[in-house]
Structure 1
Amino acid sequence: MSFFNSIGRTMQRSGPRGGPKRSPTPTSTISTTSTLVDHVPPASPSVSVPGTQKPLYLCSPFVEAALVKGNFKTIVMLPKYVDIMEWVAVNIFDFFQNLNMFYGVISECCTQHSCPTMSAGATLNYTWINQDRKSVQLPAPTYIDYVMTWVQNLLDDENTFPTKSGQDFPASFPSTIKHVYRQLLRVFAHIYHAHYPQILHLRSEPHFNSLFAHFLAFGREYELLDIKDVRGASNAPAVGIGALWERWREMGILES
């Protein structure tokens, strides 16, 4: 029995997220070909303003808080005798489960009133492409609910995440996973931007930082994450999680 098959029963027991599953848009069902093909509108370069307060997650001691010391390269390497597709699938499952738990804890603070847009910084809002191929703004809790429900449905789909011995991963698996990665990155980015004080209140910053650093290192190791999705345009100053990425690289947590 393969490594991924050995956790199949665990995945099957997990079941869907709590509450009824909802359509990703008011007018359509979710699919990787129509409703999740979204983009980030061009943002104007960030300008440093004297007296502007740096985000808490970039400040000491919070930026250094971690459960894992050293470079994350060592824990993302492919183990011997494990198929790379299964290794990616297992890690995607773990990233999703952990991120879903973190968001569940702070979700009461993420409301349509407090987070009317899916923002990850003063100059960065994520938009959604609906079935009519139109870019729409969604409140952050709605956007995140659509993303997490979509990913859970993929995990439950044997045609995408096979759990039976001898069943191959589909040819579309790599492209699907890249799309999943981009969407989960946006959930991380919103939590850092809008809800890091709640993470600090729970004294969970070492756990959340380590989860995100692991997520970034794994995504870069297996080419699931484009650097532009993390830090934005290369000719503009990094903002939000892009600045965090660069800070962790300077600290030796992530690869240069």
Structure 2
Amino acid sequence: MSFFNSIGRSMQRSGPRSTKRSPTPTSATFPTSPSGENLPATAGSPTTINSGQKPLYLCSPFVEAALVKGNFKTIVMLPKYVDIMEWVAVNIFDFFQNLNMFYGVISECCTQSSCPTMSAGPALSYTWINQDRKSVQLAAPTYIDYVMTWVQNLLDDEGTFPTKSGHDFPPTFPATIKHVYRQLLRVFAHIYHAHYPQILHLRSEPHFNSLFAHFLAFGREYELLDIKDVRGTPGQPAVGIGALWERWKEMGILEG
């Protein structure tokens, strides 16, 4: 039995997410790719938000808070005798589960009124591409519900994340997983921007920082991470999680 197959059995036992999400949007909302998969399409768009105050997650001692010391590259390396597809699948599953739990804890603070846009930092918010191929602003809880429901449905799809012996990953898996990674990155980015005070209130910053640093290191190692999604506009100072990425690189937690 393969490594991911054994994990898959535990996934099936664990059942669906405990945090209830909105129903999956209609297929018209998710443009269909040439492979026949329904993928949500999103894009970053600049806003006129301007804040001179340094985010808490960039301040000491919070930026240094972590459960793991040293460079995260050491914990994302492919283990011997493990198939790379299975390794990526297992880790994406774990990232999703952990991020979903964090969001579930702070979700009552993420409302239509408190988070009317999917903001991720000064001058940065994410827009949704609707069925008419137009960029639209969605409230953060709606955006995140759509993304998390979509990812959960993929995890439950045996054709995308096979858990049974003899079932192979589809040829479209690398492209799908990169899209999943990008969407999860945006959920992380919003939580850091809008809900880090709640993370601090729960005294969970070492856990959340370690999860995100692990996520970034993993994406960098397996070419899932597009640096422009982290840094923002090329040639401009990094904003939001981009500034956090730069700080962690200076500290030796992440590689460039």
Tell me the CA shift for residue 14 of structure 1: 3.0
Structure 2 CA distance for aligned equivalents of residues 252 and 56 of structure 1: 20
**Residue number in structure 2 paired with 1:187:** 187
Please point out which of 36, 41, 44 is paired with 1:37: 41
TM norm structure 1: 0.93
Aligned in 2, Cα 1:164/1:89: closer, same or farther, shift over 3 Å?
A: same
SS at match of 2:119: strand
**Residue number in structure 1 paired with 2:89:** 89
- The C-alpha deviation readout for 1:53-73, integer Å capped at 9, x for no partner, is 200000000000000000000
Whether 2:65 is the aligned partner of 1:61: answer no
**Residue number in structure 2 paired with 1:213:** 213
Whether 2:206 is the aligned partner of 1:202: answer no
**Residue number in structure 1 paired with 2:24:** 23
Q: Is the 8 A contact 1:15 1:156 kept in 2?
A: no
**Residue number in structure 1 paired with 2:121:** 121
Equivalent AA in structure 1 for residue 111 of structure 2: T
Structure 1 CA distance for aligned equivalents of residues 223 and 45 of structure 2: 23
Tell me the CA shift for residue 12 of structure 1: 1.3
Tell me the CA shift for residue 136 of structure 1: 0.9
**Residue number in structure 1 paired with 2:147:** 147
**Residue number in structure 2 paired with 1:138:** 138
Q: Percent identity?
A: 83
Structure 2 CA distance for aligned equivalents of residues 92 and 210 of structure 1: 15
Moved more, 230-239 or 104-113: 230-239
Tell me the CA shift for residue 28 of structure 1: 3.5
SS at match of 1:149: helix
**Residue number in structure 2 paired with 1:169:** 169
Equivalent AA in structure 1 for residue 4 of structure 2: F
Tell me the CA shift for residue 31 of structure 1: 6.0
Aligned length: 251
Moved more, 62-71 or 226-235: 226-235
Q: Is the 8 A contact 1:57 1:192 kept in 2?
A: yes
Task: State the Cα RMSD in Å.
Answer: 1.8
Q: Is the 8 A contact 2:5 2:163 kept in 1?
A: yes
Equivalent AA in structure 1 for residue 118 of structure 2: M
Aligned in 2, Cα 1:79/1:31: closer, same or farther, shift over 3 Å?
A: farther
Tell me the CA shift for residue 234 of structure 1: 2.8
SS at match of 1:7: helix
Equivalent AA in structure 2 for residue 67 of structure 1: L
**Residue number in structure 1 paired with 2:240:** 240
- The C-alpha deviation readout for 1:40-64, integer Å capped at 9, x for no partner, is 12567x98x8xx3200000000000
Structure 2 CA distance for aligned equivalents of residues 187 and 223 of structure 1: 19
Structure 2 CA distance for aligned equivalents of residues 32 and 179 of structure 1: 13
Moved more, 186-195 or 4-13: 4-13
SS at match of 2:43: coil
Structure 2 CA distance for aligned equivalents of residues 29 and 66 of structure 1: 38
Equivalent AA in structure 2 for residue 173 of structure 1: F
Structure 1 CA distance for aligned equivalents of residues 247 and 189 of structure 2: 15
Structure 1 CA distance for aligned equivalents of residues 181 and 103 of structure 2: 16
Q: Is the 8 A contact 2:193 2:240 kept in 1?
A: yes
Q: Is the 8 A contact 2:25 2:146 kept in 1?
A: yes
Structure 2 CA distance for aligned equivalents of residues 185 and 90 of structure 1: 17
Unaligned runs of 5+ in 1: none
Unaligned runs of 5+ in 2: none
Tell me the CA shift for residue 24 of structure 1: 2.7
SS at match of 2:45: coil
Structure 2 CA distance for aligned equivalents of residues 159 and 229 of structure 1: 28
Q: Is the 8 A contact 1:32 1:176 kept in 2?
A: no
**Residue number in structure 2 paired with 1:79:** 79
Aligned in 2, Cα 1:42/1:175: closer, same or farther, shift over 3 Å?
A: same
Equivalent AA in structure 2 for residue 22 of structure 1: P
Structure 1 CA distance for aligned equivalents of residues 25 and 70 of structure 2: 39
